[in-house]
Structure 1
């Protein structure tokens, strides 16, 4: 199985629903008085949720780590240290997950595939190798995150979407509250 990776030039990555890709302008402007990239940079945790065109977008913040998505675990894996291109790096993920100290994050409603890329960019200006497409089953998810080291072999940030036990979907719902999805330590 070939794993696709995406990275940023130094800022956060953003996962935007396909239908609103044209509503994200990165450093090239925004739909409010604030540049879109600045909105993404305002997330000061591992992950947050912001509104893009009336839909929830996931901001993968904290560090500009090379990132992939493992669909079977609904998990973004962000390589902080270690060789992400090495098969052994991904092979470590189950062990790291088992030992992870998770922090609870925001909820997000997913209704369509997400496209992940450098939040400084505008999708129309990206090359094919500068984004990844992520298929997640439609639903409401609770996001959790952990940053873990695994000896000298790897350091990674894990961001997982867990199905939420909350109410059913409201088709126009955006869960990008004023707290921008601040993380809370799980007990």
Structure 2
């Protein structure tokens, strides 16, 4: 994860090449990543997700896989939005294009995700109980049902990003 010193900057989570995953904190130790004796590991299941976002079972819950591209990812809590850095000259340029990206987004069909509380964003190859301070991001979500929708947008020729939006349902 890269940390930026500029005021208002966000923390980014990197991938070693596979999808990132958002696992509820209460079932984090149930995610085995690329480890395991099974013919299909948790990481394999995450890699099998089609589209920009999908859900996979983890323990007694579901985790959100951020698929398609192993882009650096952060979370903007004020917007309920995972922002995925596909191409941009700078963090400022990327984050400055979020409004334009939201305005022109063509969203994939929404999914419903029951969240038991805080979640953790990390590389899906890592086992959930072996995370280190620099390779994950904890996101404080309130328990409840969320609508999840995802898109890929090129708001200008030099800036490309994927967005995964969470909206808490009543």
TM-score, with structure 1 as normaliser = 0.81
Give the 5 Å matches for 1:1-187: 1-29=8-36, 34-83=40-89, 86-164=91-169
Cα-Cα RMSD: 1.6
1:33 to partner: Cα distance? 5.2
> Unaligned 5+ residue runs, structure 1?
166-187
- CA separation in 2, counterparts of 1:77 and 1:86? 11
For residues 105-132 of structure 1, what are the alpha-carbon distances to aligned partners after superposition, in whole Å with 9 as ceiling and x for unaligned? 3210112110010001113333311100
For residues 48-69 of structure 1, what are the alpha-carbon distances to aligned partners after superposition, in whole Å with 9 as ceiling and x for unaligned? 0111011111000101000000
What is the aligned partner in structure 1 of residue 4 from structure 2? none
- CA separation in 2, counterparts of 1:78 and 1:2? 14
For residues 67-122 of structure 1, what are the alpha-carbon distances to aligned partners after superposition, in whole Å with 9 as ceiling and x for unaligned? 00011111100011114x52231121012101111122321011211001000111
* Local SS of the residue matching 1:63: coil
1:144 to partner: Cα distance? 0.8
> Unaligned 5+ residue runs, structure 2?
1-7
- CA separation in 2, counterparts of 1:105 and 1:36? 23
- CA separation in 2, counterparts of 1:86 and 1:56? 30
Aligned length: 163
1:5 to partner: Cα distance? 0.5
